[in-house]
């Protein structure tokens, strides 16, 4: 082989080596670029995954960074602002408590039907009520009313026999109105001091006799619940201080729920009537 031929062969080998090196370099660059791209994608995916997890946590806890408003179903509890009951020989007739607090008062009369679901609902919803009981129904099932009383309900006066007081003499009115006070005091540990006339019927002598019995106020109502229907005197929604009349009837559980929903829709909550009335 001549010297020229050897030089040509060496040049071809050198070109093949350079070509291989170039290919290796291109592959290396591609591998490095791919690695960086994968790392960036992995990093972005990690951030996205963390953001997704954070969003899920925010949804599960109810927190959010947006300026959304939250609807409050139960109004905040405020310290009671009691209204003074004036003294004197005549008890005032009260159908609504003039309080600035966003509260309403649920009152339940008589005691004919004793539905256990009512006790459960009062317990679950933490609803304070005032019971104006008749003694004959109390005697039929004292444990039922004691269970409601144990939840924080009070027991007040509703006469002995639920007659129309307008048809009675002052002496007969006094027997009806004073006749249950000692018994209720012993059974429930507190003497009744509020009186509800049966049917809401009264005449001029009833507030006078009420004071003779030591009763501070004659309590009527501004709204009634019957058959799942709320009726407010004058129409419109419930107002702060409204007194709502219900009865121990088969529909009481439903009436309590409807009244509670109506109160909350008006921005109100049930409160204890006795905490909002006080002696002057």
What is the per-residue pLDDT for 54? 36
pLDDT at residue 58, as a whole number: 34
Cβ atoms within 10 Å of 81's Cβ, excluding its own: 13
pLDDT in tens, 111-167: 999 999 999 999 999 999 999 999 999 999 999 999 999 999 999 999 999 999 999
Evaluate whether 159 touches 168 at the Cβ level (below 8 Å): no
* Structure confidence at residue 112 (pLDDT): 98
Nearest residue to 161 via CA among 173, 176, 175: 176
Give me the tens of pLDDT residue by residue for the chain, a chain 280 residues long. Answer: 555 556 665 656 666 655 545 545 544 444 444 443 433 433 334 433 333 333 333 333 333 333 333 333 445 567 888 899 989 999 999 999 999 999 999 999 999 999 999 999 999 999 999 999 999 999 999 999 999 999 999 999 999 999 999 999 999 999 999 999 999 999 999 999 999 999 999 999 999 999 999 999 999 999 999 999 999 999 999 999 999 999 999 999 999 999 999 999 999 999 999 999 987 6
The pLDDT value recorded for residue 11 is: 58
Contacts of residue 266, defined as CB under 8 A and 6 or more positions apart, other chains included, come to 237, 238, 239
pLDDT at 20: 47
- pLDDT in the model for residue 277: 94
Please report the pLDDT score of residue 79 as a whole number. Answer: 84
**Kindly report the CA angle at 186 between 170 and 79, in degrees rounded to 5?**
90
Q: pTM (2 decimals)?
A: 0.73
**What integer pLDDT is reported at residue 226 of this predicted model?**
96
């Amino acid at each position: 082989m001549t010297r020229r031929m050897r030089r040509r062969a060496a040049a071809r080998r050198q070109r093949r080596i350079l070509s291989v090196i170039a290919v290796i370099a291109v592959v290396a660059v591609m591998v490095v670029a791919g690695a960086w791209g994968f790392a960036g994608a992995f990093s972005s995916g990690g951030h996205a995954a963390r953001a997704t997890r954070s969003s899920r946590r925010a949804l599960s806890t109810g927190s959010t960074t947006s300026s959304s408003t939250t609807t409050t179903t139960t109004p905040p509890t405020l310290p009671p602002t009691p209204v003074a009951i004036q003294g004197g020989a005549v008890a005032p007739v009260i159908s609504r408590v003039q309080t600035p607090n966003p509260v309403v008062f649920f009152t339940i009369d008589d005691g004919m039907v004793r539905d256990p679901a009512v006790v459960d609902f009062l317990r679950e919803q933490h609803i304070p009520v005032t019971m104006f009981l008749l003694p004959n129904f109390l005697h039929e099932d004292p444990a039922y009313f004691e269970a409601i009383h144990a939840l924080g309900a009070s027991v007040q006066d509703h006469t002995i026999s639920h007659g129309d007081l307008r048809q009675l003499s002052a002496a007969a009115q006094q027997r009806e109105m004073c006749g249950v006070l000692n018994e209720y005091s012993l059974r429930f540990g507190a003497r009744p001091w509020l009186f509800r006339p049966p049917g809401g019927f009264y005449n001029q002598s009833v507030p006078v006799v009420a004071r003779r019995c030591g009763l501070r106020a004659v309590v009527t109502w501004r709204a009634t619940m019957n058959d799942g229907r709320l009726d407010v005197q004058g129409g419109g929604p419930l107002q702060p201080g409204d007194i709502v009349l219900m009865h121990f009837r088969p529909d009481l559980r439903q009436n309590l729920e409807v009244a509670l929903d109506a109160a909350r829709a008006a921005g109100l909550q049930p409160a204890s009537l006795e905490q909002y009335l006080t002696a002057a």
